[in-house]
Structure 1
């Protein structure tokens, strides 16, 4: 099992994730939300909610949100916000314990793409979307985003003879326009519309003092020696120069499709 497939790992990092990754993913969640029209009567599902960036954005529209994740720690962070129109539940997105056609809009912001069986995750999203509703998915391009993207760039600079670990199969399959459109249709959606969206991840250079927190979920970090890890950190500091924040431009695809 890879680290990102282990709910215990996500439980451990939930609070840190909410502080560091959530503000970044929230920008993409807002972009995804802008692709649909919701009302206070809308029923929305957020699959693999993490700390609830999308769920909280939807809640501000007045819609009713069910936010699910396989990590109890992540779900606890969503529940802690105590939003009256958000119901947070521990649930496997590959086997949703939810009725067919029960939601007007179903989202997954960088969630389904990480599933071991991402096709089943997409099919489950389509199954619980009502006819006339829509599904919305955000996926990274193949080289990833934020600290994963930075680490890959540095490894290619420092260790050009070493291959980086492949991104999860879902990212590889859904990380281009044609692949994402095709798989949305295969899952049961129709008329997919896809856009590129880019935002900077703002890396606080001081966090390089604790690199395991930044890079620890990446195999490309774990398999490095202590000396190689030190070289990676030195290169990141060189890239930042005298800046306190190192921006990492990261591009996502946001696909919306009808049921």
Structure 2
């Protein structure tokens, strides 16, 4: 087992950490996040002539979905590895660029629609991320922002955090990202979108099963260091949590898939 990381270190904020996670993220997370990306896109009025920005694109779930509609997509991420993976798809109407979503190197009012699917909520300065989304959206354009309805996130993060709370309630780490906790409340989420420069949003809830592929044992455990409560444990405690995790998997798996119901909120708002 790896040694515990300092409490202040959050892998979410380290592009090098994401660079190492590209293959695991694409295999385990993208098939899941694609459902939410498609749901977010359905709330936006975009078509083949639309200019769309995908903020914190990851391996490109939202960008690929928008490109299939025919939109001209700019996909940005601070991880060079993620950007390279999106480029490797070779989709003609996607331009993937490495960029800080808290300070976009893009002109004002340049996009008809802007998306962030589980991205901006992880930024150290998530308020700046939302303001930047508003800045680059044209007047009358719209944004769709997806966040989890739990400070523990969804999927594996939510499951492992629940196990840690049960076994070691006195060893809980800090929220993995301030925005994740702040935006999990619908009233605060709506207020933050307005504060950023958008009109009051419509918020919808979407619940899907995270279909964890438990045949990929190493890939699953590579997700654990992203979980702040895991990072607050010592090696013996981590081993106990891992045992409890795999015990729950064995009880609930269907073949190689273990379903973890996860709920997101999608805020859709116009730029005045």
The match for 1:222 is 231
Distance 1:164 1:248 in 2: 22
Distance 2:220 2:58 in 1: 21
Q: How many residues align?
A: 259
Distance 1:131 1:209 in 2: 46
Out of 15, 20, 28, the residue aligned to residue 12 of structure 1 is 20
Corresponding position: 1:235 with 2:244: yes
Deviation of the 1:203 alpha carbon = 1.7
Distance 1:163 1:220 in 2: 5
The match for 2:30 is 22
The match for 1:172 is 181
Greater CA deviation, 156-165 or 48-57? Answer: 156-165
Distance 1:124 1:211 in 2: 33
Matches within 5 A, 1:66-85: 66-85=74-93
Unaligned runs of 5+ in 1: none
- Report 1 or 2 for greater relative contact order, CA contacts < 8 Å, sequence distance ≥ 6: 2
TM-score (norm: length of structure 1): 0.95
Unaligned runs of 5+ in 2: 1-8
What is the root-mean-square deviation of aligned Cα atoms in Å? 1.5
Task: Write out per-residue CA displacement over residues 53-74 of structure 1, whole angstroms, 9 at most, x where no aligned residue.
Answer: 0000000000100000011100
Whether the aligned pair in 2 keeps the contact of 1:144 and 1:167 (CA below 8 Å) is no
4+ residue runs over 3 A deviation: 206-212
Distance 2:250 2:60 in 1: 34
Whether the aligned pair in 2 keeps the contact of 1:68 and 1:91 (CA below 8 Å) is yes
Whether the aligned pair in 2 keeps the contact of 1:49 and 1:68 (CA below 8 Å) is yes
The match for 1:32 is 40
Partner SS for 1:31: helix
Matches within 5 A, 1:179-194: 179-194=188-203
Corresponding position: 1:254 with 2:247: no
The match for 1:199 is 208
The match for 1:149 is 158
Out of 133, 137, 158, the residue aligned to residue 129 of structure 1 is 137
Q: 1:168 to 1:19 in 2, by over 3 A?
A: same
Whether the aligned pair in 1 keeps the contact of 2:176 and 2:228 (CA below 8 Å) is no
TM-score (norm: length of structure 2): 0.91
Deviation of the 1:211 alpha carbon = 5.5
Distance 1:173 1:222 in 2: 21
